[in-house]
Amino acid sequence: MQPFSFPVTDETMNILHTSDWHLGRSLYGRKRYPEFEGFLNWLIETIQDYQVDVLLVAGDVFDTSTPSNRAQKLYYRFLHRIAASTCRHVVVIAGNHDSPSFLNAPKELLKALDVHVVGTPSEDPEDEVLVLSDDQGVSELIVCAVPYLRDRDIRVAEAGESIEDKDRKLVEGISRHYAATAALAERKRSALGDEIPILAMGHLFTAGGQTLDGDGVRELYVGSLAHVNGGIFPENLDYLALGHLHVPQKVNKSEVMRYSGSPLPMGFGEARQQKSVCLVALARSEGHTETVVDLIDIPVFQKLEQVKGDWEALSARILELVASGSRAWLEVIYEGEAVIGDLRQRLDGAVAGSQLEILRVKNRRVIERVLGQMDEWESLDELDPNDVFQRCLLLHEVPETQRPQLIRTYQEVLASLHDDDSRAE
């Protein structure tokens, strides 16, 4: 157990902030349930070790809006186990990958276990502002539990509006929503007559947020540049727990506005990244709350490694991994100039008899010599739908002046399809 960087007293409340579990996610066809189970077991132990009072899960509990039975079992078993731990409350909000109706379905039953679920935004802030009590029934924490805000939740589309108009309305709508919940939280705190800490949760993309190649982070408002500036969040918050970005990071360099990041690397681009959860200590003293944040490193449950270079570099690194007895999953990126027609066969031979497993091979060699054109050999799974559409525009020589509107319309169709999936029962 890592030492606390702050004094722990009976007056200190310990909050654990995590997000983006993506239960059920696979990696190039490989199921990852043992990793998810390992993380949840570790999380239970961490909650016990650090005497955590409240667990925050800031969205994307599941990877899809229709999670598998095995993913659901992991989730509900975890909630059942946490009820017997030191943790008094769990607060879960929906992310853009989650189905709001699916998360909300058992909320009344889960409330009996002090698990508070907010899957759907509400016009009434009362539904998103939770007052949590200790074992004696004394109010100890106010949480503004704001789920992922879809476009239709925060703005009214109007005919003829420009991209700039849409962006402005999105940011204004998000800002109004957080301001309304924070104002209600302040009124509740005043009514209780005590300086109870106020936390907020959210699932969104803030301006300047860091992402990594292959992490699967989606643009939340496609066709838009509406990344929210950290300055929109109310000033009366003692801590802001965000989800959606998989890289652990601060917002506007603030110690108390953070993304916890995903607990597992969601792609090979995250393979070298240290995953963590945020341990937030709230110490009430002389009418105010002091907030101190520590990061707790998450163990690696399945090693991923990205191997790049020409054939000599690839074979040398794979030989090192075989000799060390590594069980890593590999993404191999061939960057040599020589044409190797049997690349996959060579790689399979290099790992034969070892515990390594190659999940993906990418060949980035320039094939100017072969086809007489500057291009890269790409497979369709390397491109997202926006890449494919933009290449279609180029192929059909669509004038550049027409492309922005066509791209925006296409992205709105994609967003509509995704929202339909999220609403599916």
| 3-class secondary-structure state, position 343 | helix
Superfamily of domain 12-297: Metallo-dependent phosphatases (3.60.21.10)
Q: Which residues have C-beta within 8 Å of that of residue 255, sequence separation ≥ 6?
A: 291, 293
Average pLDDT, the chain: 84
Give the pLDDT of residue 231: 81
12-297 and 304-423 share one fold: no
> Which comes out higher in pLDDT, residue 273 or 419?
273
Helix axes 403-423, 385-395, angle to 10 degrees: 150
Residue 206 gets which letter from DSSP? B
Q: Alpha-carbon distance 340 to 360, whole Å?
A: 16
Q: Alpha-carbon distance 259 to 385, whole Å?
A: 27
Burial class (CB in 10 A: 0-12, 13-18, 19+), 159: exposed
User: For residue 393, is pLDDT > 50?
Assistant: yes
123-156 tens-digit pLDDT: 888 999 999 998 888 899 999 999 999 877 777 6
Q: Alpha-carbon distance 160 to 97, whole Å?
A: 30
Give the pLDDT of residue 369: 38
DSSP per position, 29-64:
TEE-HHHHHHHHHHHHHHHHHTT-SEEEEES--BSS
Q: Beta strands of 8-163 (E only): which ranges?
A: 12-18, 26-27, 30-31, 54-58, 89-93, 115-118, 129-133, 139-145
For residue 202, which of 222, 221, 230, 183 has the smallest C-alpha distance? 230
Burial class (CB in 10 A: 0-12, 13-18, 19+), 255: exposed
- Report yes or no: 21 and 262 within 8 Å, Cβ to Cβ: yes
Fold (topology level) of 304-423: Double Stranded RNA Binding Domain (3.30.160)
Residues shown for the chain: 425
357-392 tens-digit pLDDT: 999 998 866 333 333 333 444 444 555 677 677 777
Q: Alpha-carbon distance 405 to 412, whole Å?
A: 11
**Chain center to CA of 334:** 30
Give the pLDDT of residue 374: 39
Q: How far apart are the first and last CA of the chain?
A: 42
Mean pLDDT throughout 73-82?
Answer: 96
Looking at the whole model, is its pTM more than 0.85? Answer: no
Q: Which residues pair with 133 in a beta bridge?
A: 139
Q: Where are the domains of the chain?
A: 12-297, 304-423
CB-facing half-sphere around the CA of 169: CA atoms within 13 A? 17
